[in-house]
Amino acid sequence: METLMKAPGSKTEVSNVTEDLSVLHARAERLAAGQALRDSVPRSSHADWTSPGQHRDPIEILEESNQDRLPELVPIRYGRMLRSPFTFLRGSAALMAHDLASTPSTGLRVQACGDCHLLNFGLFATPERNLVFDLNDFDETLPAPWEWDLKRLAVSFAVAGRDNRLPDADSRKAVLECVRAYREHLRAYSRMNPLEVWYTRLDVKTLVAMAPDEKVKKFREQLAERARQRVVENLFPKIVGKVGGRHRLVDQPPLLFHVAEADLEERLREVLVDYRQSLSDERRVLLDRYHLEDFALKVVGIGSVGTRCFIGLFFDEEDHPLILQFKEARRSVLEPYAGKSHYDHQGQRVVIGQRLMQSSSDIFLGWLRGRHDFFVRQLRDMKISVPVEDIAAAQLKRYAGLCGWTLARAHAKSGDATTISGYLGKGDAFDEAIGAFALAYADQTKRDHAALIKAVRAGRLEALVEE
């Protein structure tokens, strides 16, 4: 077979060189555009946090976020938020969205998570049954400034550090590691082509291989094994029993219970047709192998408590179980400040945002509309968060780096990574600014948590503290 060789200096080679120079020139222009943004929005300006004072009532904002929730469940939400400033932060995404909207912004937008705190990252299974580390909560996702996600994530490390009685110096180190990892990995992703960014993922094998010592390696291997045990087959015996020869979800009020509405089952079966239409054809075939056996309302999380969240118990012809979660999708807490979603259906907003930000998503991920909008996913499916109670400073710092890295990849999939990288630069000026902001806002979170305690004691709010 004849091999075609291009001589040095040929038209083809000159054309390739010209194209390469053009790409480099375009990249240089975008980096320069990012650098130019520093004139109008200095990186040091991100360090500032000043509360709006008397015009900012955290309790009023929380109460507004309860509109159209199930009122009998709202006290559980407040009870969970009362536990600590960190649980308060987890449950108050609407409050922090309000505050972030007043902070400096470059105007560069990405598909944002909207509730980007350290426990909304973790391990879960891909359709190929591999474990990956990624973002795993997208109820509030919406196109918005990239800084908002990174600032909320940084603050969560500062507040979690304090909750674990770590010195502020150690909490600040975790924040700096988080931002450094975001900045450096975003620059690396900005040099990749879009397909390379889309295909990249942080799997558990890589995490184990990256372990700095045997102790960390063993911890990561054990966490992965725990994740593999979090599947429907292991959950099934704990929440399912038999009544009249049929499988039924076991009531565990107030956290899991059947809803007494005469037409609810009929309505649910009707909206399952809508959900089926949101799936691709081959996944409809898979879903059709299962039939609905029972369903119940299940209280989940902190910020989501009071929203309508059901779990559906399905079986195939040989009694293999499938448990799907039908979670109400409300308007994003970012919407008042970032604008409405392109999608009128809030479940679709969540699903599309999740697919855009994650490296891999649940095969049953879809949406439906009944009296409210919902998105659907499998319950659990090897999903597990990294435990942060009593976490050591070194562990918190390592975990912060993984979260910053992961957020960079998520933002690079939808945003202009090159221009953002130009703004961030290669130095640590932005890192230091966010380090200061995170500690200042951690002080704010402590004050807001105290305001919640005061409101409950005064009878302004009702809270149910669980055992």
pLDDT digits (tens, 9 = 90+) for 364-419: 999 999 889 999 999 988 999 999 999 999 999 999 999 999 999 999 999 999 99
The per-residue pLDDT for 5 is 39
The per-residue pLDDT for 10 is 53
| pTM (2 d.p.) | 0.93
Report how far residue 209's alpha carbon sits from residue 224's, in angstroms, rounded to the nearest whole number.
Answer: 13
Mean pLDDT taken over the chain: 93
Whether the bond into 253 is cis, omega within 30 of 0 = no
Decide if pLDDT at 12 tops 80.
Answer: no
pLDDT tens by residue, 271-328: 999 999 999 999 999 999 999 999 999 999 999 999 999 999 999 999 999 999 999 9
Kindly give the residue spans of alpha helices, DSSP state H, lying in 326-428.
Answer: 335-338, 346-357, 393-414, 417-424
- Given pLDDT bands bounded at 50, 70 and 90, which one contains residue 78? very high
Q: Cα–Cα–Cα angle for 289, 292, 296, nearest 5°?
A: 145
Question: Which of 295, 397, 334, 6 lies closest to 145 in space, CA to CA?
Answer: 334
Decide if pLDDT at 7 tops 50.
Answer: no
Q: What percent of the chain has pLDDT over 90?
A: 86
pLDDT tens by residue, 25-66: 689 999 999 999 999 999 999 999 988 766 899 999 999 999
**Cβ(358)–Cβ(410) below 8 Å:** yes
Report how far residue 341's alpha carbon sits from residue 348's, in angstroms, rounded to the nearest whole number.
Answer: 10
Amino acid at position 281, single letter = D
Report how far residue 133's alpha carbon sits from residue 129's, in angstroms, rounded to the nearest whole number.
Answer: 13
The per-residue pLDDT for 244 is 86
pLDDT tens by residue, 173-205: 999 999 999 999 999 999 999 999 999 999 999
- Given pLDDT bands bounded at 50, 70 and 90, which one contains residue 9? low
Decide if pLDDT at 6 tops 50.
Answer: no
Question: Which of 310, 302, 345, 306 lies closest to 327 in space, CA to CA?
Answer: 310
Region 234-262: mean pLDDT is 89
Decide if pLDDT at 19 tops 80.
Answer: no
- The set of residues, in sequence order, having a beta carbon less than 8 Å from that of 151 and lying 6+ positions away, is 46, 100, 103, 434, 437, 438, 441
Kindly give the residue spans of alpha helices, DSSP state H, lying in 53-167.
Answer: 58-64, 74-82, 85-91, 93-100, 146-163
